[in-house]
Amino acid sequence: MNQNLNRRELIVGSAALTLAAAVPAAAQPKEAKIENPLVLQRADPQILRHGGWFYFTGSVPEYDRIVLRRAKTIAGLKDAPETVLWQRPASGKLAGYIWAPEIHHFDGAWHVYFAAGDGDDKFHIRTYVLQGKGANPLTADWSLLGQFETPWDTFTLDSTIFEHKGVRYICWAQKEPGIETNSNLYLAPLKTPTTLAAPPARLTVPTLDWEVQGYKVAEGPALLARNGKLFLTYSASATDARYCMGLLTADADANIMDPKSWTKSPVPVFATSEANQVFGPGHNSFVVDEKGRDLLVYHGRDYREIKGNPLFDPNRHARVQPVQYRKDGTPDFGVPVANGVVR
């Protein structure tokens, strides 16, 4: 009986293999290719990998809501349905511009850090935190925890969260009283999602020529920890074709709350590519894709000339490309790749 059953299984299995071999190669399922732009009209993009999913969020051109989509692959994010997690109120606090959300999962809950203006002053930008309870952030119960508290009640945006040596840190951009810039970068350990555990360290102030084109800006920080180093990217200058990425580097064993531990690259590490027709690349994040590659996630436009204020040009598209590494272990971001399949 068992011998006959095994024989039948063998025959059926062999037939299935023969049938599969007979199917033309074109009919076999193909691996989805990542194509740029990945998501149209989504600036300040972030991709988070968590629990077998890739989550994508970014600024929408209307600056009025926080959106999220997810997929099992990076390529799948292109056509994944999008959910509105939070919509700004019609008036009052948080009724102004909604910028640059980032989603993180810690302490058993989801957290979205975002910048918001007020109804009577849309540029009264401060950072706020949403908290979501539930395994799936698309269906979680979201509530506003409150404003992220810093030493100064000033223009504050672009918060990112990371853990280093068992400590949870927040890095953000802010205008500090007494410093004539639009924003500098700050770092501090977190006590709660909205409060600091220690006074912040000012990591960098925009002073170099490529950091002060149009505006004196250091914003959009993102951390890449590799090869015994911490690489902190940020974006500089106005949000047109002059927008570009800078880099701060520290040893992983250094006291990262000491600004002297960080070295600034003297030139941009990622900038407009006329040849590839990608303009103003920046406000990036990092994610490890399903192949184990480090991906740079950023936005850029397909054209240089903009009519009016570049903040209100809707076509900053989310893009991705692999990060390369030099022999000394430092990242080489290269140039923004042209539209099409990402190799």
Tokens at residue 298, please?
Answer: 């950023």
Q: Strand (E) positions, 107-241?
A: 109-118, 121-133, 141-147, 156-164, 167-174, 184-192, 195-196, 201-204, 218-226, 229-236
Pairing of strands 121-133, 109-118: antiparallel
CA distance 280 to 101: 19
Tokens 């926080």, located at residue: 66
Handedness of CA 59, 110, 224, 260 (dihedral sign): positive
CA distance 168 to 145: 18
| 219 assigned to active site | yes
Contact residues for 187 (Cβ-Cβ < 8 A; gap 6+)? 169, 170, 171, 200, 201, 203, 256, 257
Tokens at residue 9, please?
Answer: 């299984």
Nearest C-alpha neighbor of 319 from the set 69, 68, 42, 99: 42
Handedness of CA 4, 7, 12, 13 (dihedral sign): positive
Q: How many residues are listed for the chain in this entry?
A: 343
Contact residues for 343 (Cβ-Cβ < 8 A; gap 6+)? 322, 337
What is the SS3 assignment for 312? helix
Pairing of strands 279-288, 294-301: antiparallel
Of the residues 176, 219, 289, 313, only one is catalytic, namely 219
| 305 assigned to active site | no
Q: Would you give the distance in Å from CA 233 to the centre of its chain?
A: 11
Q: Which residues are the active-site residues? A: 44, 219
